[in-house]
Amino acid sequence: MSISEYLKNRKLKRFKKKYKVGLCLSGGGTRGFAHLGAFKAFEEYGITFDAIAGASAGSLFGALYATNMKYDQMYKLSKNVKNTDFRKAKLGFLPSKMDNLQELIKKVIPVKKIEDLAIPFYAVAVDLKTGKEIHFNKGDIASIVSGSCAIPGVFYPVKYNNMTLIDGGVSNNIPADVLKMNGCDYVITIDCNSTRGGGTNSESFFTQFITSIGIMSVNNSKRGIECSDIVICPDMKKFASLKIVGKEEMIEAGYQATVEMMPQIKKLFLGEFKKK
């Protein structure tokens, strides 16, 4: 029997948590479907969290997870998701409005306000007017999460409460520090875009633009990795960040990567983990 099978059979829900543990979810566009696979593993092993933070795609999947929805229900919702739910523009080189994504959020998340979620949740976005990084733990979920997902040049910014919100990943793609600042002793991070900054041979302007954003996010991602105690990195190299082709494989990659880290996660929840 493998270690993962042994741990799964023991059901970690029988162990007592000794610390406040947060879950950080990275950006990564549609690669964020890997987060669903991680949620599946957490549910199977009885892992729960005291707080969640997400940027960009991580804010979308984080808000969903913060409802305490079971994996099977989340998976069923994901099966009906289409590319047009994320990106409305028909021409690839034009930015898209966030109307479709806002409607999707309203449809799949049963509450309207962040503060009404079952688990404390922080969505990270950037206010284009001030250039400041904003950590939302209250307010309208559809507006805030869609703003957190608004990749510059790909989506139009989202107007909200006299702010002009753009992708939180511009400033903080792995917001583990947000959880540490808000009382978490430990942070487990799912990084579904660990290949950011890898470059491209494509002559497509759009591909070059997206790659440039990935290169720019490398440094702010380092800060998040440093603030994380355990980092789970599904292999997402072959998946595009703006297409949902391979959705099932993305979910499976997130699941397998999380199961592989369960020995370390077990130590953390047993109080045997050595803090950085």
Residue numbers annotated as active site:
56, 167
Which residue's entry shows tokens 């790909």? 154
Which residue's entry shows tokens 């917001």? 175
Copy the structure tokens of residue 171.
């400033």
Nearest to 263 by CA among 224, 228, 232, 227: 232
DSSP assignment letter at 208: H
Q: Name 204's Cβ contacts closer than 8 Å, sequence gap at least 6.
A: none
The whole-angstrom distance between residue 227's C-alpha and the CA centroid of its chain comes to 16
2, exposed or middle or buried, with CB in 10 Å at 0-12, 13-18, 19+? exposed
The SS3 assignment for 240 reads coil
Copy the structure tokens of residue 176.
């583990």
